[in-house]
């Protein structure tokens, strides 16, 4: 054999044997020594989130976007990337006309909390800042005035929460904004067109929220003839099947005053529970049986066709609704004793379901005192996501499951618990990721500021603590 060739073969063999004997260095995972917080921000303000202003969060293309009421009642938006585990924000997304008057008797109004939606072009929209509008904003032909100005802001760039612009394309008289985007991209904005004595309306946009059609009334306020009060309403609207939207609502008896004519201020007298369906394709409304309803719906029409239950001797608060896989509605609402004062007694969550023939309820289902949202699955499966207090009086946010169509519920998961704290809870995040189901604000005595959490099946989404301390960063 050629001597030169033999040398090359021997060298190659040596390199091969050496490579086989060298152990691969183990991959060391990068560690982050920064302390973590289980809250993502500490600048929530007042009742920073609620079930009625919804959605307060949207999951879209791997990212959860959330909004809440921050300092001076202005709207704030943050986002969480589930792949990189990176938080962005919170960024102030607009300026509310509320929360800026130090001489106002009710210092924090709380009605202008934001709701959020993402249009088909990827732009992020929030509606915020209103509690009926003020007389300086002009005549309100669909109701009365109170405070604030309803506003609509949109991100300046697609899927970018860092910069915003406010659009002048909705009336200033709204409150309790509820956004819904249909499968075809149409956006519906539902709200009360003024203060307590106002119609509930919707506006439709077919151009990604750049313009909206005129308001259309679907629930009517009107003077009662039998006493010094007006009929009013509190609905909660969400997507049903196909082109349909489903509505759970309760009745508000908006009184003038006591028997002597002395004004009592606003008393949150809310009774009964109702359900109806809106076919967005035809523009028609019907009850659970498919019978047509005349809109705007009056108290008489609601009692005759949409009634789920009456609540004699009790007050209701905040109905919510979802459909099971058979298309039957499950409705949740909190119900408590009517104590005849400004603040009602504690309310337990109650569950009702339509079985195809009638509304069914088990009054001893085991749900606690507290409010939240429900999620239906198979016909016999339904869950309630609630803020409440446990047996030891500790504030917690938990999920309660039923596998017998709501006859009984049991606590399945505690997402967060805190001693000496209570929580304000949002509706379920739209199209929620399992790690980000709801947004909650932790209420602590002695301060109007709240720690903000996003909770999922594994508990809170954590963040580097120094990033979550927004108030310290702004001081």
Phi, psi of 216 (to 5 degrees): -120, 125
The distance in angstroms from the start CA to the end CA of the chain is 82
What predicted TM-score, i.e. pTM, was given to this entire model? 0.91
Task: Say whether pLDDT at 52 is over 80.
Answer: yes
Between CA 176 and CA 50 the distance in angstroms is: 10
- Return the SS3 of 276: strand
Q: What percent of the chain has pLDDT over 90?
A: 81
What number of CA atoms fall less than 13 Å from residue 221's CA on the CB side?
24
| Whether 119 contacts 182, CB under 8 Å | no
Task: Say whether pLDDT at 31 is over 60.
Answer: no
Run of H or E residues at 19: helix 3-21
For the four alpha carbons of 248, 377, 67 and 475, in that order, the dihedral sign comes to positive
Mind listing the pLDDT tens digit for each residue in 130-179? 999 999 999 999 999 999 999 999 999 999 999 999 999 999 999 999 99
Write the CATH number of the domain with boundaries 32-474: 2.130.10
Task: Say whether pLDDT at 452 is over 60.
Answer: yes
Q: Which residues are catalytic?
A: 111, 176
Structure tokens at 52: 């009625």
Mind listing the pLDDT tens digit for each residue in 384-395? 999 999 989 999
Q: What is the mean pLDDT of residues 298-307?
A: 98
Q: What is the dihedral of CA 453, 456, 458, 461, to 10 degrees?
A: -40
Rg (CA), the chain: 26
Residue of 459 and 13 predicted with greater confidence:
459
Between CA 384 and CA 410 the distance in angstroms is: 10
| Whether 228 contacts 212, CB under 8 Å | no
Structure tokens at 109: 């109004």
Domain ranges of the chain: 32-474
Phi, psi of 304 (to 5 degrees): -75, -30
Mind listing the pLDDT tens digit for each residue in 235-284? 999 999 999 999 999 999 998 865 544 445 567 789 999 999 999 999 99
What band does 444 get if pLDDT is binned at 50, 70 and 90?
A: confident
């Amino acid at each position: 054999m050629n001597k030169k060739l033999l040398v090359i073969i021997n060298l190659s063999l040596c390199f091969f044997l050496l490579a086989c004997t060298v152990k691969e260095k183990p991959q060391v995972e990068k560690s982050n020594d920064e302390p973590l917080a289980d809250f993502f921000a500490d600048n929530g303000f007042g009742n920073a989130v609620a079930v009625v202003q919804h959605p307060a969060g949207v999951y879209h293309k791997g990212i959860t976007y959330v909004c809440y009421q921050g300092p001076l009642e202005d709207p704030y938006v943050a986002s969480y990337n589930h792949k990189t585990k990176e938080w962005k924000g919170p960024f102030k997304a607009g300026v509310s006309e509320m929360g800026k008057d130090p001489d106002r008797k009710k210092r924090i109004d709380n009605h202008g909390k934001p709701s959020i939606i993402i249009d088909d072009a990827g732009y992020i929209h929030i509606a915020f800042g209103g509690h009926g509008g003020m007389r300086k904003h002009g005549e309100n032909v669909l109701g009365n005035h109170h405070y604030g100005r309803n506003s609509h802001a949109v991100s300046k760039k697609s899927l970018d929460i860092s910069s915003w612009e406010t659009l002048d394309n909705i009336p200033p008289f709204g409150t309790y904004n509820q956004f819904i985007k249909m499968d075809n991209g149409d956006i519906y904005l539902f709200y009360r067109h003024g203060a307590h004595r106002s119609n509930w309306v919707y506006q439709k946009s077919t151009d990604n929220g750049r313009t909206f059609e005129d308001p259309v009334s679907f629930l009517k306020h009107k003077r009662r003839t039998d006493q010094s009060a007006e009929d009013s309403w509190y609905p909660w609207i969400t997507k049903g099947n196909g082109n349909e939207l489903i509505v759970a609502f309760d009745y508000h008896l908006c009184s003038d005053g006591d028997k002597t004519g002395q004004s009592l201020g606003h008393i949150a007298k809310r009774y009964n529970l109702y359900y109806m369906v809106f076919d967005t394709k035809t523009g028609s409304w019907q009850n659970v049986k498919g019978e047509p309803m005349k809109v705007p719906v009056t108290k008489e029409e609601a009692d005759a066709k949409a009634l789920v239950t009456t609540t004699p001797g009790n007050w209701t608060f905040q109905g919510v609704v979802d459909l099971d896989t058979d298309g039957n509605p499950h409705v949740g609402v909190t119900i408590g004793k009517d104590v005849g004062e400004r603040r009602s007694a504690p309310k337990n969550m109650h569950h009702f379901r339509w079985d195809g023939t009638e509304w069914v309820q088990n009054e001893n289902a085991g749900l606690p005192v507290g409010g939240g949202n429900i999620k239906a699955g198979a016909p016999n499966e339904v869950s309630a996501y609630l803020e409440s207090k446990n047996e030891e009086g500790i504030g917690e946010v938990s999920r309660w499951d039923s596998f017998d169509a709501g006859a009984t519920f049991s606590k399945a998961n505690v997402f967060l618990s805190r001693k000496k704290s209570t929580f304000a809870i949002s509706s379920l995040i739209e199209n929620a990721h399992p790690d980000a189901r709801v947004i909650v604000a932790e209420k602590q005595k002695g301060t109007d500021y709240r720690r903000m959490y996003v909770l999922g099946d594994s508990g809170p989404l954590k963040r580097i603590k120094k990033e979550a301390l927004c108030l310290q960063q702004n001081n």
